[in-house]
């Protein structure tokens, strides 16, 4: 049973007729229905700055033939609106002929519960805990001058109605809890930011005072940076810590392995399947099936069950990440990576949880082996240019390494490198694989989707560090 | 068709009436409809077309100094009643904040709509495709252009009504036409991409397909076979598409919210020499057909023209009602951010600027968000071209550039080639004494 036609003047059988009729001469397509409610509560500058609740209901109607995607979306789930969209799609694809691919596997796999983070707790209880967080963070030290904390909760219900009447459904909870602390000492200001999240209830973070650990970590990062000195500039060895620094893998390699860039031959990896693209011992997967993780999905936004996709195995490029369109054009199967930000957006191949698996070395050995270099513990944002392979990251916590020992914290360090070459410059892979705390949002072509990353510690032979000290 | 004023007004009125009935002391509401139509092509073939029709209502209710907001895309009457109810209930339990309130009535915009922000022109998809296909055809004139990353054309129209319980009720239509072309060049194993982009309120003001295609090709070819260079202190010229980002960073650092919280390197710098004497920065909301022009901000407050920096001295902040109260200033209509923000032209021509030093790196692409507005530290990845004695010599890539805004702002020299291409615009600028990280 569909939930979307209950309060609408159009019933599902009528909608199905329009969908089937519109798509009968197309290769693929569907009616994607989405109902999202979300809540953002922000504490800032000692006050509850905002409490916003929003609901968003709409559909996206897609028709695909050959390489061409026609898309129409609207907030009005009515017969009139669907017929309008249908006409719009047909006119975009007139003179094109395709054969509809009915095959999509049904699945019962479930990697998260039916939790509703927006309704499970009263607004009052969330406000109370934010105020408690504020007092706790400010009481940590007199250097704490500013605290911002927020809860972002979302419940997204998705239904996919395909030609022929197949109906696929998913209910997706998502929460995120973030704390930012600014400290000031001797006229110097620094911020530390830490957050956690996943497809689960807020309870995980709120029970047993788990939220205190989030505040402690934000405070620790801010304080560490108070003692930081200008970062050196130039090429040097880099040790990456485990967990969140894997966004380097996400940017440097992940995007380049998305099906669309490779079908279009704009990725540096497009003709390298089966070839050695990384050092021995480097295995990278993209996994949509991890329990309650931010990047996990039961089915992707085309209805394909997600899976664990091996991208690089022991240095050899194995697979790209595919949605249905790019898979069809490249004569392969969708890997369940077809995602969209919302019903307002077209599907593209996107990452889920992208992870480098464990090797055998220890972080200690890596640091010991470096004469002069940097140890990057956490990053802010990153970005990549798929075509040239160049990527960049801003370190939010980094230290110098001198003669095998960790030295002073560094400020303002940026790392820049080349995706394909950095993979080959991985000298050691650690045995301490960690997943990130659940805070990643990946942007591509203006669409943001929640993702996860993970990796063990890594030693990279040389990367360019951008600082102010030569 | 875009929804007309009466339809939007009716929903806005319903929200205001119902919130009052349920016990809110004040309320404000925005009802918006936006329609956009895009076509994307690749290698001169249609890749996709998209039509989106978005409705949204955003309601904020106040009970004394308590405040909460809701928004929704579902404008059916039953749903609206439910949402208003939820909003007022949330307001009741949200703690008071002494600075919460609607803006003072005398700040409301009350004037004509003479800025020409709406162009009725409608292009059907075939015309859009023809336009952007022609741009790609010009780009492919060079045999070094081997592929496209996609090119597109979009037509956006929107209409909205903003109303509040102090009697403000106003809105207007806007339009935006955008075209871009992104191509891939290849030579000797090196592959690079670059783009040209044009966005205007009026279709007829867009760059012509020929210019878009040829520029994109030229930029992508100029980047081929780059060198890595050694780390050094060197002067950098920032292309106009990069230099405008310094204004965006500057605007973030003088927003009243950052000033009130102290989370900016420009706190307490009002009337200080923040830039050198040659710099003037203006934020002007009333440019005819301006990409950033508006009559009033998201609170209905009229948008003053601001001289933010005069002879290098910081003269003003970007102020909304809430944060204005915290710093004892009246709103100057910036609750939606800046409008048309720009550096006034400098003295030097572009040609003189590139000759002003023996060796300069010309940067036309940066990656990463490397600005820390609390400390003023700046560090990004970059690519560009080495200039020696006024001549463009060879492309450079995989470098980082770093500095601190406090010093960088003092070391800016502006060219006199300002144009209004985006909503934030800068002439080409030179900044001395930056650190480049390379080999």
- Reported as a single tens digit per residue, the pLDDT across A420-452 is 888 999 999 999 999 999 999 999 988 999 999
A289/chain B closest Cα distance in angstroms: 30
Judged by a CB distance cut-off of 8 A, whether residue A306 touches chain B is no
Judged by a CB distance cut-off of 8 A, whether residue A348 touches chain B is no
Q: Are residues A454 and A433 in contact, defined by beta-carbon separation less than 8 angstroms?
A: yes
- Asked if A264 lies within 8 A of B147 by C-beta distance, the reply is yes
Q: Are residues B33 and B159 in contact, defined by beta-carbon separation less than 8 angstroms?
A: yes
As a whole number of angstroms, the distance between CA A406 and CA B258 comes to 34
As a whole number of angstroms, the distance between CA A128 and CA A122 comes to 10
How large is the average pLDDT for residues B178-193?
93
How do B424-425 and B340-343 pair as beta strands?
Answer: parallel
CA-to-CA dists, residue A118 to A125, A201, B79, B424, angstroms:
12, 9, 17, 38
- Chain B residues with beta carbon closer than 8 angstroms to that of A421: none
Tokens describing residue B343: 């550096």
Judged by a CB distance cut-off of 8 A, whether residue B126 touches chain A is no
Residues 267-306 of B with CB under 8 A from A: none
Phi-psi category of residue B64: left, alpha or beta, with phi > 0 → left and psi -120 to 50 → alpha: left
- Asked if A413 lies within 8 A of B379 by C-beta distance, the reply is yes
Judged by a CB distance cut-off of 8 A, whether residue A3 touches chain B is no
- Asked if B398 lies within 8 A of A466 by C-beta distance, the reply is no
As a whole number of angstroms, the distance between CA A171 and CA A160 comes to 12
Domains of chain B: 5-222 (3.30.2290.10), 226-439 (no CATH)
Judged by a CB distance cut-off of 8 A, whether residue A66 touches chain B is no
Residue A245 lies in a domain: yes
Q: What pLDDT does residue A8 have?
A: 75
Tell me how many domains chain A contains: 1
Residue A40 lies in a domain: no
pLDDT above 90: residue B421:
yes
As a whole number of angstroms, the distance between CA B335 and CA B341 comes to 15
- Chain A residues with beta carbon closer than 8 angstroms to that of B375: 188-190, 411-412
Residues 312-341 of B with CB under 8 A from A: 326
- Chain A residues with beta carbon closer than 8 angstroms to that of B81: none
List the Cα angle A50/A54/A55 in 5-degree steps: 175
As a whole number of angstroms, the distance between CA A351 and CA A339 comes to 8
Residues 385-404 of A with CB under 8 A from B: 385-388, 390-394
As a whole number of angstroms, the distance between CA B207 and CA A248 comes to 37
- Chain B residues with beta carbon closer than 8 angstroms to that of A73: 51-53
- Chain B residues with beta carbon closer than 8 angstroms to that of A387: 149, 184, 191-193
Beta bridge partner(s), residue B392:
B387
- Asked if B380 lies within 8 A of A414 by C-beta distance, the reply is yes
- Nearest CB among B94, B125, B193 relative to A387 is that of B193
Neighbours of A443 (CB within 10 A): 11
- Asked if B400 lies within 8 A of A466 by C-beta distance, the reply is yes
For residue B281, count CB atoms less than 10 angstroms from its CB and return exposed for 0-12, middle for 13-18, buried for 19 or more: buried
Neighbours of A203 (CB within 10 A): 14
- Chain A residues with beta carbon closer than 8 angstroms to that of B326: 45
Write phi, then psi, for A224 (nearest 5 degrees): -60, -45
Which structural domain, as residue segments, surrounds residue A402?
A: 234-466
- Nearest CB among B54, B69, B403 relative to A52 is that of B69
- Nearest CB among A380, A386, A412 relative to B402 is that of A412
- Nearest CB among A131, A146, A394 relative to B261 is that of A146
Could you say which DSSP state residue A245 is in? G
Tell me which chain A residue has its CA closest to the CA of residue B404: A468
How do B45-63 and A68-74 pair as beta strands?
Answer: parallel
Neighbours of A273 (CB within 10 A): 14
Q: Give the residue ranges of chain A where pLDDT is below 70.
A: 1
- Nearest CB among B53, B72, B93 relative to A56 is that of B72
- Asked if A469 lies within 8 A of B435 by C-beta distance, the reply is yes
Three-state helix/strand/coil letters over chain A: CCCCCCCCCCCHHHHHHHHHHHHCCCCEEEEEEEEEEEEEEEEECCEEEEEEEEEEEEEEEEEEECCEEEEEEECCCCHHHHHHHHHHHHHHCCCCCCCCCCCCCCCCCCCCCCCCCCCCCCHHHHHHHHHHHHHHHHHCCCCEEEEEEEEEEEEEEEEEECCCCCEEEEEEEEEEEEEEEEEEECCEEEEEEEEEEECCCCHHHHHHHHHHHHHHHHHHHHHHHHCCEECECEEEEEEECCCHHHHHHHHHHHHHHEHHHHHCCCCCCCCCCCCECCCCCCCEEEECCCCCCCCCCCECCCCCECCEEEEEECCEECCCECCHHHHHHCCCCCCCCEECCCCCCCCEECCCEEEECCCCECHHHHHHCCCEEEEEEEEEEEEECCCCCEEEEEEEEEEEEECCEEEEEEECCEEEEEHHHHHHCEEEEECCCEECCCCEEEEECCEEEEEEEEECCEEEEEEEEECCEC
- Nearest CB among B49, B184, B404 relative to A92 is that of B49
A360/chain B closest Cα distance in angstroms: 30
- Asked if B261 lies within 8 A of A47 by C-beta distance, the reply is no
ipTM of the complex: 0.82
In the block, residue with structure tokens 């504020």: A134
- Asked if B184 lies within 8 A of A50 by C-beta distance, the reply is no
Q: What pLDDT does residue A1 have?
A: 65
In the block, residue with structure tokens 């129209």: B157
Neighbours of B107 (CB within 10 A): 21
Judged by a CB distance cut-off of 8 A, whether residue B167 touches chain A is no
Q: Cβ contacts of residue A242 below 8 Å, gap of 6+? A: A363, A430, A432, A433, A434, A454, A455, A456, A457
Residues 68-97 of B with CB under 8 A from A: 68-75, 79, 83, 86-87, 90, 93-95, 97
Phi-psi category of residue B337: left, alpha or beta, with phi > 0 → left and psi -120 to 50 → alpha: left
Residue A204 lies in a domain: no
Read off the pLDDT of residues B270-299 as tens digits, 9 standing for 90 and up: 999 999 999 999 999 999 999 999 999 999
Read off the pLDDT of residues B221-277 as tens digits, 9 standing for 90 and up: 999 999 989 999 999 999 999 999 999 999 999 999 999 999 999 999 999 999 999
CB contact burial A157-177 (16+ within 10 A = b; e otherwise): bbbbbbbeeebbbbbbbbbbb
Residue A373 lies in a domain: yes
Read off the pLDDT of residues B45-65 as tens digits, 9 standing for 90 and up: 999 999 998 999 999 999 999
Judged by a CB distance cut-off of 8 A, whether residue B189 touches chain A is no
Read off the pLDDT of residues B312-344 as tens digits, 9 standing for 90 and up: 999 999 999 999 999 999 999 999 999 999 999
Beta bridge partner(s), residue B281:
B309, B343
Residue A303 lies in a domain: yes
Residues 83-122 of A with CB under 8 A from B: 85, 88, 91-92, 122
- Chain A residues with beta carbon closer than 8 angstroms to that of B378: 412
- Asked if B125 lies within 8 A of A91 by C-beta distance, the reply is yes
DSSP reduced 3-state for B174: strand
- Asked if B368 lies within 8 A of A381 by C-beta distance, the reply is yes
Residues 362-381 of A with CB under 8 A from B: 380-381
Q: Which residue, among B266, B308, B301, B251, has the nearest Cα to B284 in the 3D structure?
A: B308
Choose from A28, A45, A386 for mutation: most chain B CBs within 10 A: A45
Judged by a CB distance cut-off of 8 A, whether residue A51 touches chain B is yes
- Chain B residues with beta carbon closer than 8 angstroms to that of A344: 52, 54
- Asked if B48 lies within 8 A of A70 by C-beta distance, the reply is yes
- Asked if B72 lies within 8 A of A55 by C-beta distance, the reply is yes
- Nearest CB among A54, A182, A412 relative to B70 is that of A54
Judged by a CB distance cut-off of 8 A, whether residue B401 touches chain A is yes
Neighbours of A33 (CB within 10 A): 24
């Amino acid at each position: 049973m569909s939930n979307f036609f209950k309060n609408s003047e159009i019933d599902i059988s009528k909608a199905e007729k329009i969908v089937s009729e519109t798509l009968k001469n197309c290769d693929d397509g569907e009616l994607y229905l989405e109902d999202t409610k979300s809540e953002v509560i922000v504490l800032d500058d000692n006050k509850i700055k905002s409490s916003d609740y929003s609901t968003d209901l709409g559909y996206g109607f897609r028709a695909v033939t050959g390489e061409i995607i026609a898309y129409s979306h609207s907030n009005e789930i009515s017969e009139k609106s669907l017929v309008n969209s249908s006409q719009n799609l047909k006119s975009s694809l007139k003179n094109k002929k395709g054969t509809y691919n009915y095959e999509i596997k049904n699945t019962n796999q479930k990697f998260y519960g039916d939790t509703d983070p927006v309704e499970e707790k009263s607004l009052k209880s969330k406000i109370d805990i934010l105020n408690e967080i504020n007092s706790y963070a400010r009481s940590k030290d007199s250097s704490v001058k500013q605290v911002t904390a927020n809860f972002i909760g979302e419940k997204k219900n998705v239904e996919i109605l395909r030609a022929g009447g197949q109906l696929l459904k998913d209910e997706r909870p998502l929460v995120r809890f973030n704390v930012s602390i600014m400290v000031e000492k001797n006229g110097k200001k620094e911020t530390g930011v830490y957050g956690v999240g996943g497809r689960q209830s807020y309870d995980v973070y709120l029970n047993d005072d788990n939220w205190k650990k989030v505040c402690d970590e934000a405070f620790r990062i801010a304080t560490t940076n108070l003692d930081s000195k200008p970062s050196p500039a130039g090429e040097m060895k880099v040790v990456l810590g485990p967990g969140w620094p894997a966004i380097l893998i996400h940017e440097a390699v992940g995007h380049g392995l998305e099906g669309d860039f490779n079908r279009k031959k704009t990725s540096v990896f497009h003709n390298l399947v089966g070839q050695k693209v990384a050092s021995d011992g480097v295995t990278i997967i993209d996994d949509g099936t991890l329990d309650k993780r931010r990047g996990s999905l039961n089915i992707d936004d085309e209805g394909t069950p997600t899976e664990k996709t091996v991208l690089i195995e022991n240095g050899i490029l194995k697979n790209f990440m595919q949605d249905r369109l790019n898979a069809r054009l490249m004569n392969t199967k969708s890997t369940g990576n077809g995602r969209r930000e919302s019903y307002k957006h077209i599907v593209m191949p996107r990452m889920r949880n992208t992870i480098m698996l464990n090797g055998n070395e220890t972080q200690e050995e890596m640091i010991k082996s470096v004469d002069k270099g940097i140890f990057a513990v956490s990053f802010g944002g990153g970005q990549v240019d798929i075509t040239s392979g160049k990527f960049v990251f801003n370190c939010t916590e980094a230290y110098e390494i001198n003669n095998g020992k960790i030295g002073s914290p560094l400020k303002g360090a940026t790392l820049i490198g080349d995706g394909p070459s950095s993979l080959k410059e991985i000298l050691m892979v650690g045995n301490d694989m960690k997943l990130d705390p659940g805070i990643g949002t990946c942007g591509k072509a203006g669409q943001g989707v929640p993702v996860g990353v993970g990796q063990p510690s890594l030693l990279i032979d040389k990367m360019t560090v951008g600082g102010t000290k030569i | 068709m875009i929804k007309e004023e009466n339809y939007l007004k009716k929903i806005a009125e319903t929200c205001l009436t119902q919130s009052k009935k349920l016990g809110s002391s004040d309320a404000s509401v925005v009802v918006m409809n936006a329609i956009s139509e895009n076509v994307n092509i690749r290698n001169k073939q249609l890749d996709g077309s998209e039509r989106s029709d978005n409705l949204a209502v955003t309601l904020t209710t106040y009970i004394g100094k308590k405040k909460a907001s809701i928004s929704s895309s579902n404008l059916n009457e039953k749903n609206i009643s439910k949402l208003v109810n939820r909003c007022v209930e949330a307001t009741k339990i949200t703690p008071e904040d002494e600075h919460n309130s609607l803006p003072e009535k005398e700040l409301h915009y009350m004037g004509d709509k003479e800025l020409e922000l709406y162009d009725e022109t409608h292009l059907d998809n075939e015309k859009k495709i023809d336009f952007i296909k022609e741009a790609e055809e010009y780009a492919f004139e060079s045999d070094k252009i081997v592929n496209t990353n996609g090119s597109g054309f979009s037509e956006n129209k929107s209409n909205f009504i903003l109303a509040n319980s102090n009697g403000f009720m106003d809105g207007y239509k806007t339009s935006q036409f955008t075209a871009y072309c992104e191509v891939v060049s290849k030579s000797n194993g090196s592959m690079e991409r670059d783009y040209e982009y044009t966005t205007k309120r009026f279709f007829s003001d867009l760059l012509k397909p020929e210019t878009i295609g040829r520029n994109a090709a030229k930029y992508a070819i100029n980047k081929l076979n780059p060198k890595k260079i050694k780390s050094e202190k060197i002067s950098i010229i920032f292309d106009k598409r990069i230099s405008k980002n310094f204004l965006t960073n500057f605007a973030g650092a003088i927003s009243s919210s950052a000033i009130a919280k102290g989370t900016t390197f420009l706190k307490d710098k009002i009337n200080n020499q923040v830039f050198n004497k040659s710099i003037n920065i203006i934020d002007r909301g009333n440019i005819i057909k301006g990409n950033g022009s508006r009559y009033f901000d998201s609170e209905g407050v009229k948008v003053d023209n601001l001289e933010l920096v005069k002879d290098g001295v910081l003269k003003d902040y970007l102020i909304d009602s809430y944060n204005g109260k915290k710093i004892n200033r009246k709103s100057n209509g910036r609750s939606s951010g800046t409008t048309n923000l720009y550096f006034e032209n400098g003295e030097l021509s572009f040609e003189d600027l590139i000759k002003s030093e023996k060796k300069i790196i010309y940067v036309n692409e940066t990656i990463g968000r490397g600005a820390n507005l609390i400390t003023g530290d700046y560090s990004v990845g970059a690519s560009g071209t080495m200039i020696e004695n006024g001549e463009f010599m060879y492309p450079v890539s995989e470098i980082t550039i770093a500095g601190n805004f406090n010093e960088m702002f003092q070391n800016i020299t502006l060219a006199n080639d300002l144009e209004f291409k985006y909503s934030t615009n800068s002439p080409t600028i030179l900044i001395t004494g930056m650190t480049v990280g390379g080999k």
